[in-house]
């Protein structure tokens, strides 16, 4: 079984006290994760060390950064490098979230640089891809996603690509009132796996976790996670509520 992952993305939310209380409430629940499962918490930069001190006490719980710089080091005021993340023991990093692409104009080329730096610094990257409504309406989503993968990931070797997790975000279905159907979710996840298989072979494609990042919540997690090519979720708002995220974690496939 591919690793099943419930990844929380807090974005720019919660104070340190609020975040600590949330984590303590989550880990105090009866959550047993096997080695093919993981709960990952992408928290704001100021909270990384504190959060890691909490996740280190729970089996198969991990702390992630929400972003990183595209340069190794230098005069980049306000940026955080991959080597900084590695130096404090951070295990995961999100690369290419739709908000970073949209608000900060991060291109596929820039993301390829971040991908390389993640590898150099031994971080497992959750690489995000997804299409806006205009692309979906034009029925061009498959080629759009394929281009994102090819331009940012497909320079990697077979060994290197295994270190990556892919997260599919249907941008058109996040905060818009529109909803992706289970069939649409499965179809895109299967397409992503096929694109990876065409480049690296079916065995490697079948080993890579692909997460769904489209408004996952306790009420729909079990249905979404049961889809054949869905290996968990990248969760935004619902990850800020302990009861919700605990239910989402418990919805992961376990066999």
Classify residue 232 by its DSSP letter.
E
Rounded CA-CA distance 112/156 in Å is 10
Rounded CA-CA distance 139/141 in Å is 6
Rounded CA-CA distance 86/242 in Å is 28
Rounded CA-CA distance 185/248 in Å is 17
155 assigned to active site: no
The active-site residue out of 99, 131, 169, 244 is 169
Helix, strand, coil shares of the chain, percent, nearest 5, are 45, 15, 40
Q: Where are the beta strands (DSSP E) in 34-98?
A: 37-43, 61-65, 92-95
C-alpha distance across the termini of the chain, in Å: 7
How many residues are listed for the chain in this entry? Answer: 255
> Considering only CA atoms, which of 63, 70, 22 is closest in space to residue 43?
63
Spatial contact of 241 and 221, defined as CB atoms under 8 Å apart? no
Q: C-alpha distances in angstroms, 3 versus 83, 138, 229, 246, 253? A: 25, 33, 12, 18, 9
106 assigned to active site: no
The active-site residue out of 97, 99, 189, 244 is 97
Rounded CA-CA distance 38/1 in Å is 13
* Residues recognised as catalytic: 97, 169
């Amino acid at each position: 079984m591919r690793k099943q992952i419930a990844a929380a993305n807090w974005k720019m939310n919660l104070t340190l006290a609020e975040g600590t209380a949330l984590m303590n409430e989550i880990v105090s629940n009866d959550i047993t994760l096997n080695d093919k499962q993981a709960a990952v918490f992408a928290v704001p930069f100021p909270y990384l060390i504190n959060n890691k001190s909490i996740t280190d006490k729970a089996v198969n719980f991990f702390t992630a950064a929400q972003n990183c710089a595209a340069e190794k080091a230098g005069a980049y005021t306000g940026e955080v490098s991959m080597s900084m993340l590695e130096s404090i023991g951070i295990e995961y990093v999100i690369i290419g979230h739709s908000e970073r692409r949209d608000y900060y104009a991060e291109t596929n080329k820039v993301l390829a640089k971040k991908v390389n730096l993640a590898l150099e610094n031994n971080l497992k990257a959750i690489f995000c891809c997804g299409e806006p409504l205009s692309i979906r309406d034009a029925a061009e989503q498959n080629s759009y996603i394929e281009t994102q993968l090819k331009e940012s990931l497909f320079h990697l070797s077979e060994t290197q690509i295994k270190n990556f997790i892919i997260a599919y975000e249907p941008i058109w279905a996040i905060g818009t009132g529109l909803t992706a159907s289970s069939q649409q979710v499965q179809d895109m996840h299967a397409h992503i796996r096929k694109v990876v298989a065409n480049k690296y072979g079916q065995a490697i494609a079948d080993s890579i976790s692909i997460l769904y990042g489209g408004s996952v919540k306790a009420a729909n997690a079990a249905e979404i996670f049961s889809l054949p090519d869905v290996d968990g979720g990248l969760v935004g708002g619902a990850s800020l509520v302990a009861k919700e995220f605990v239910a989402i974690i418990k919805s992961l496939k376990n066999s």
